[in-house]
Structure 1
Amino acid sequence: MSNLSDIGNLMYLYLDEIDPGNGTDAPKFLITAAAKALNQYGDRNWVPVIVKEIGEDRYQVIGNTFIYAVAEEAGLEKIWCIIADEREETEKLTQVLSGEVTPKINLSQATRDEIKDALQYLIEKPGSLLKGVNLLTATNRIDAAPRQYWKTLDPITKLKCGITKGKLKALEEVFDLIPQPMPDVIKDPAILKSLTTTELKALAKQRQLTGYSKKKKQELVELLST
């Protein structure tokens, strides 16, 4: 659909050719005040809107949605835009770089410093659910845990690091999980304790162990770790 020669170019487009996309959640006051400043200082958006082509002479905003809203409020006929390609990855990256989406890191493979920086960001946010969580304790215990196999963030609540189930929602803002395949034979108690009882029984069945069906979680951990 897109003219490849236009991708990456700065173009002066008519506002009525541009669909706002998902729009901005910026407060009305900020949009209105910025629009007045735009009218006052030259009616030219020196920070361009990022758009992708969706049809002949039709575009959609994928980044800098606040600037589009300001230009619309200011009554501009045309605005400066950068033309992006149509890939989903491009749209996601544009939203991250424009500060409209919080980037996430893969907790399965994150370094200790990445975990620490992400937790510090969350703890210091106004009204944070993680207020009172000890940064170093949480960092060290999450870093040392067998997170490469986690399918959810639930095991964090078992680390005694101050992050309870009610606080897990906050972590979803900055962490993704892309777990590694579980080994056929696991004997490390730390890894086994991070699994559910159902998963432990499945491992016992896979190893053709006997007498596991009625065992509790700790008993299964002991059975599988021998």
Structure 2
Amino acid sequence: MALFTENESLLDIELGRILRIPSKFVQGKSDAHPALIKNLAKQMETTGKNILPVMVELVSEDNYKAIENTQILEAAKKANLNFVWCIVINNQMLNQVLVESGKIIRLPILTALEKDIVEVLEYIKTQKYGVSTIKPKEAAKSIVEYRKKNKITSLNFLTKQRCGIGDKTLPKIKDFLVIADL
């Protein structure tokens, strides 16, 4: 059962549009706890649908990969729903979804205020393992001082700033502190 007419290409699918896609066409597995999946499935059995859409990537005709809200897909399949509401997105849109859902913070360090950098580093410190050595105030001050005198092209300079960010810590913060503006 193709979702496209003969005159449509799968490349014509509008990104960001909510679609009702047959569950069997969407692949993906959630790492959510089985109790959560079971609870969601019971809710969906009652309503007959999901309300929060699954974010999917188009792989090929009638083939989608769930990339966000995968617990909803798994619960919909467990509830034997024939269709699931989805939004087709690309990588750029996925970043926006992750920011909007609060799963990631992306702060552009070239323009960010020192206090904002401190806040993000404090957040990272409370959320991530292996970053307890970070000194948020010292790191933020180092970033602000460094960018006054140098063009920042990477975060590597932080490993030499005595701010608690070393070679092992740097990869854990690079998705939060970014060079380019959003």
TM-score, scaled to structure 1: 0.59
Is residue 124 of structure 1 aligned with residue 126 of structure 2? yes
Q: Over residues 92-118 of structure 1, what are the superposed CA-to-partner deviations in whole Å (9 max), with x where a residue is unaligned?
A: 43444455x624334344332431222
Q: What is the match of residue 6 of structure 2?
A: none
Q: What is the match of residue 154 of structure 1?
A: 156
- Cα offset, 1:44, TM superposition: 1.7
Q: What is the match of residue 200 of structure 1?
A: none
The aligned runs of 1:128-147 (5 Å cut-off) are 128-131=129-132, 133-146=134-147
Is residue 36 of structure 1 aligned with residue 36 of structure 2? no
Match of 1:90 among 79, 90, 93: 93
Is residue 10 of structure 1 aligned with residue 15 of structure 2? no
Match of 2:52 among 6, 26, 47: 47
Q: Over residues 130-187 of structure 1, what are the superposed CA-to-partner deviations in whole Å (9 max), with x where a residue is unaligned?
A: 3364432332222212385344433223322233444323322412345xxxxxxxxx
Runs of 4+ in 1 over 6 A off after TM superposition: none
Match of 1:72 among 56, 77, 86: 77
- Cα offset, 1:45, TM superposition: 0.7
Q: What is the match of residue 4 of structure 2?
A: none
Structure 1 residues 133 and 30, CA gap change in structure 2 (3 angstroms): same
Q: Is the 8 A contact 2:44 2:50 kept in 1?
A: yes
Question: Which amino acid letter does the alignment assign opposite residue 38 of structure 1?
Answer: M
Q: Is the 8 A contact 1:62 1:94 kept in 2?
A: no
Q: Is the 8 A contact 1:142 1:159 kept in 2?
A: no
- Cα offset, 1:3, TM superposition: 7.0
**1:145 counterpart SS class:** helix
Question: Which amino acid letter does the alignment assign opposite residue 93 of structure 2?
Answer: T
Computing the radius of gyration from Cα coordinates, the structure with the larger value is: 1
RMSD: 3.2
Identity between Structure 1 and Structure 2 (%):
23
Q: What is the match of residue 178 of structure 2?
A: 176
Question: Which amino acid letter does the alignment assign opposite residue 93 of structure 1?
Answer: Q
Gap runs ≥5 in structure 1: 179-226
Gap runs ≥5 in structure 2: 1-8
